[in-house]
Amino acid sequence: MANAKLAGAKSLAHQMILVTGGAGFIGANFVLDWLARAGEPLVNLDKLTYAGNLTSLASIATDARHLFVRGDIGDAGLVRSLLERHRPRAIVNFAAETHVDRSIHGPGDFIQTNVVGTFALLDCIRAWWRELPPTARDAFRFLHVSTDEVYGSLGPGDPPFSETTAYAPNSPYAASKGSSDHLVRAYHHTYGLPTLTTNCSNNYGPRQFPEKLIPLMIVNALEGRPLPVYGDGRNVRDWLYVGDHASAVRTVLEKGRPGETYNVGGNAEMANIDVVRTICRVVHARRPELDCERLVTFVKDRPGHDRRYAIDASKIRRELGWTPSETFESGLRRTIDWYLDNGDWLASVQNAEYRKWVDLQYA
């Protein structure tokens, strides 16, 4: 890709991994967690769309273990050059368009990145992987990070989503991620590529672009702006702290069986209005002058808004020994404290385009 920028001239000669989408919310938190806990070098490939932010990685800007590359997973030439130069032992794919509301307004970007991009990435990896020596080929892993939204919507009494729940995506975003999951599955069963897939519940935590529910509520509460809640606010989600998600991905990469899918949840099923009220309570405790609950404003519901998601994460607990460390309350307190302490980061992402989007979406 013509505008690809390689941050460093030399190959990482020792064992390492390749992370795609590592400047986005979940990807950046994973990269920071990986370097802090595993210590293994990585190459970080990110297109730097509106949701990608190198400021999130400022603390490792001079860390020799982190090589940032600006580029697209759909650029086969760039991906092939990275594979040949660095010979990663594993690839963790976070690269995706992820916001349901944006997919409703403009589904084309979601198809291009999540479907076409994932196909291009898989096909490039497959060709390179087949040429590896047998030992390296057997040890290689491709981990694809996906979402619980591919399963559709649950009724109030329905059992949570399991790994065998049939796919029934209801938004263009969910459909594009479901398509990418099917491609990953097909490349394992047809070509033998050693893949792993994780389907996670709603993430929250530091460094999340404030178009999603929790950071949007925090930002608006701090500014005294309305807190827009879709419909009656009773849509239910399971909430997963992003640090717990990072630990789950590390666990699946280390212990997961190729060809398998693992659901990752936070054991925190809550209605949106209860999430918002909890945010108000914690913000008020941190900033007593802010009375956020009076700002709650119910707005027109999102088209096709799924009523309930819930995750059965018993497989990853039973087979790999992973469970979340944070409760919703503890994770939310950490999240709000991070936003309170990082005003410069918040200011850097709230540009005119962002303001225009929020005003349009919640008018």
DSSP string across 33-76: HHHHHT---EEEEE---TT--GGGGGGGTT-TTEEEEE--TT-H
Residue 34 lies in a domain: yes
- Banded pLDDT at 352 (limits 50, 70, 90): confident
Query: What gap in Å lies between CA 124 and CA 122, rounded to an integer?
Result: 5
Q: Would you state the pLDDT for residue 251?
A: 98
- Decide if 13 contacts 41 (C-beta within 8 A): no
- pLDDT mean over 309-327: 98
Give bridge partners of residue 240 from the DSSP assignment.
203
Q: Would you state the pLDDT for residue 32?
A: 98
Joined together, the tokens standing for residue 340 give: 């309170």
Domain total of the chain = 1
- pLDDT mean over 38-58: 95
Given a cut of 50, whether residue 71 has pLDDT beyond it is yes
Annotated catalytic, 329?
A: no
Residue 301 lies in a domain: no
Query: What gap in Å lies between CA 151 and CA 174, rounded to an integer?
Result: 8
Q: Would you state the pLDDT for residue 178?
A: 98
Given a cut of 70, whether residue 1 has pLDDT beyond it is no
Calculate helix-pair angle for 172-191, 118-130, nearest 10 degrees: 20
Given a cut of 90, whether residue 273 has pLDDT beyond it is yes
Burial class (CB in 10 A: 0-12, 13-18, 19+), 116: middle
Residue 355 lies in a domain: no
Contacts of residue 64, Cβ cutoff 8 Å, sequence gap at least 6: 41
Residue 252 lies in a domain: yes
Given a cut of 80, whether residue 319 has pLDDT beyond it is yes
Range of the domain at 179: 14-207+239-268+307-327
Spot the catalytic one: 97, 101, 173, 309: 173
Q: Would you state the pLDDT for residue 360?
A: 75
Residue 74 lies in a domain: yes
Query: What gap in Å lies between CA 261 and CA 188, rounded to an integer?
Result: 12
Q: Would you state the pLDDT for residue 254?
A: 98
Question: Taking all residues of the chain, what is their mean pLDDT, rounded to a whole number?
Answer: 94
Q: Other CB atoms closer than 10 Å to residue 325's CB: what's the count?
A: 12
Residue 358 lies in a domain: no
Residue with more model confidence, 11 or 299: 299
- pLDDT mean over 213-237: 96
pLDDT over 90, % of the chain: 90
Spot the catalytic one: 46, 75, 149, 238: 149
Residue 167 lies in a domain: yes
- Decide if 227 contacts 295 (C-beta within 8 A): yes
- pLDDT mean over 274-303: 96
Q: Would you state the pLDDT for residue 12?
A: 43
- Decide if 241 contacts 204 (C-beta within 8 A): yes
- pLDDT mean over 188-192: 98
Q: Looking at residue 164, which CATH number applies to its domain?
A: 3.40.50.720
Per residue in 112-127, pLDDT tens?
999 999 999 999 999 9
Annotated catalytic, 148?
A: yes
- pLDDT mean over 90-100: 96
Joined together, the tokens standing for residue 307 give: 């009523």
Residue 258 lies in a domain: yes
- pLDDT mean over 288-298: 95
Instruction: Write out the H or E segment, with its range, that includes residue 261.
Output: strand 261-264
Query: What gap in Å lies between CA 337 and CA 38, rounded to an integer?
Result: 26
Spot the catalytic one: 148, 211, 244, 326: 148
Given a cut of 50, whether residue 11 has pLDDT beyond it is no
CA distances from 299 to 34, 171, 226, 229, 362 (A): 39, 19, 10, 6, 7
- Decide if 226 contacts 295 (C-beta within 8 A): yes
- pLDDT mean over 290-295: 94
Q: Which amino acid makes up residue 345?
A: W
Q: Would you state the pLDDT for residue 363?
A: 67
CA distances from 248 to 204, 240, 320 (A): 15, 11, 9
